[in-house]
């Protein structure tokens, strides 16, 4: 886009500070903005009724029972937030090597989707497709002989996707990084008549240290750190998630997922990968999202709690950065707080 630049005349004809002098002048020349409509709110679910549970490593974030998630969704609509994304904390007794709970029509996520679609039809409901909340090994795919097996996992993911679509999900979010899953899911959705279900592919998802608090929130951390896997350390998903050193590969993954039928794509984590967001948006021009993940949230909140940074300003600045980088929207645990602040 550099060719669009007008070279400023020499000083003093150009004094770029002129337009920064007052708040209204700055508002007038502002290039990007943040609105509640840019937000997808990730919500953690737990069993029961009238129950809320703090997530210790994410101050201010709670797991909610379905009835309270419905209330939260209603509040989100009032704040102008267009979508929520559901993540279940599965009862350990329901985890199994075959991960059958993942496609049970009555699992926590699918019951929540039905309740939300019945009670708060104004909000779009997004889901996560990966086996980690259901897998005793804590991994996103089946662990066999020390490896995360691809094709068997994709078969399970397809069943999971169909169950979520059947329950009424608007947007499916495959976050597992297996090969071939977008095509398989899209084909199965078409065949089952779910023609209008969107796929927001976690296309460029990196093997990141910033997911730690999320793994606490869904109860997958201990299992993951105990699982032996070939080619990676315990607790490390590097045999399927991306190498943080790569960015061309992100473009190949996005191209691949779009060709297989994804409607929208995501880069994850967010702030350490803004360069990737920018490249994806410029290369493809498709709806592009970033996930400001649990560890990014925890860093800002941790520093703010100690008085080391101004938490509110850091929140706004971090979210605006995604818009500046070209993202259409952001998955963020800050969604309700920032929407309230923006006057939604
Ligand atoms: C798992 C999944 C993860 C997140 C969303 N889906 C964690 C992982 O890959 O280990 C991370 C979200 C966050 O850290 O906020 N399929």
- 268 belongs to the catalytic site: yes
Residue 22 lies in a domain: no
The rounded Å distance from CA 215 to ligand 1 centre is 7
Percent of the chain with pLDDT over 70: 99
State which residues form the domain around 219: 33-341
pLDDT at 269 over 50: yes
Q: Which two tokens stand for residue 176?
A: 């597992």
CATH number of the domain where residue 108 is located: 3.20.20.70
Question: Pairing between strand 198-205 and 143-144?
Answer: unpaired
Residue 99 lies in a domain: yes
Does any ligand 1 atom lie closer than 6 A to the CB of residue 128? yes
pTM, two decimal places: 0.96
The predicted-structure confidence for 141-179, as pLDDT tens digits, reads as follows 999 999 999 999 999 999 999 999 999 999 999 999 999
Residue 233 lies in a domain: yes
58 φ/ψ sector (left φ>0, alpha ψ -120 to 50, else beta)? beta
Q: Which residues are 83's β-sheet partners?
A: 40, 124
The rounded Å distance from CA 218 to ligand 1 centre is 9
Q: Which of 43, 60, 126, 214 to mutate to test the pocket of ligand 1 (most atoms within 8 A of CB)?
A: 214
Residue 1 lies in a domain: no
The rounded Å distance from CA 209 to ligand 1 centre is 10
Does any ligand 1 atom lie closer than 6 A to the CB of residue 130? yes
The predicted-structure confidence for 125-146, as pLDDT tens digits, reads as follows 999 999 999 999 999 999 999 9
Of 238, 58, 49, which Cα lies nearest the Cα of 139?
A: 238
Does any ligand 1 atom lie closer than 6 A to the CB of residue 257? no
Residue 188 lies in a domain: yes
Residue 206 lies in a domain: yes
Does any ligand 1 atom lie closer than 6 A to the CB of residue 292? no
Q: What was the pLDDT predicted at 243? A: 98
Residue 23 lies in a domain: no
Residue 258 lies in a domain: yes
* Number of domains observed in the structure of the chain: 1
Does any ligand 1 atom lie closer than 6 A to the CB of residue 211? yes
Instruction: Please identify which of the residues 89, 237, 268, 323 carries the catalytic annotation.
Output: 268
Q: Which two tokens stand for residue 251?
A: 């473009």
């Amino acid at each position: 886009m550099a060719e669009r630049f007008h070279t400023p005349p020499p000083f003093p004809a150009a004094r770029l500070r002129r337009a920064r002098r007052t708040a209204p002048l700055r508002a007038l020349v502002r290039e990007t903005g943040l609105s509640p409509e840019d937000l997808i709110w990730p919500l953690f679910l737990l069993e029961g009724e009238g129950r809320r549970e703090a997530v210790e490593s994410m101050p201010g974030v709670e797991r909610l029972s379905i009835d309270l998630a419905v209330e939260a969704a209603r509040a989100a609509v009032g704040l102008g937030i267009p979508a929520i994304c559901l993540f279940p904390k599965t009862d350990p007794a329901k985890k199994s090597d075959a991960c059958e709970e993942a496609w049970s029509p009555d699992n926590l996520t699918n019951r929540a989707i039905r309740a939300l679609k019945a009670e708060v039809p104004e909000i779009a409901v997004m889901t996560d497709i990966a086996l980690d909340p259901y897998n005793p090994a804590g991994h996103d795919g089946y662990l066999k002989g020390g490896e995360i097996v691809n094709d068997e996992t994709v078969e399970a993911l397809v069943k999971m996707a169909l169950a979520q679509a059947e329950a009424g999900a608007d947007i499916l979010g495959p976050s597992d990084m297996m090969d071939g899953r977008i095509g398989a899911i899209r084909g199965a959705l078409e065949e089952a008549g779910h023609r209008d279900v969107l796929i927001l592919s976690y296309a460029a998802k990196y093997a990141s240290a910033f997911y730690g608090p999320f793994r606490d929130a869904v109860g997958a951390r201990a299992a993951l750190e105990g699982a032996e896997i070939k080619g990676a350390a315990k607790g490390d998903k590097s045999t399927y998630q991306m190498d943080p050193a790569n960015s061309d590969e992100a473009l190949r993954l996005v191209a691949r997922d779009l060709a297989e039928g994804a409607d929208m794509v995501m880069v994850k984590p967010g702030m350490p990968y803004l360069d990737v967001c920018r490249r994806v948006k410029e290369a493809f021009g498709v709806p592009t999202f970033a996930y400001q993940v649990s560890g990014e949230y925890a860093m800002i909140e941790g520093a703010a709690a100690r008085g080391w940074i101004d938490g509110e300003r850091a929140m706004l600045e971090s979210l605006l950065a995604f818009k500046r980088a070209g993202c259409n929207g952001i998955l963020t645990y800050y969604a309700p707080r920032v929407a309230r602040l923006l006057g939604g």
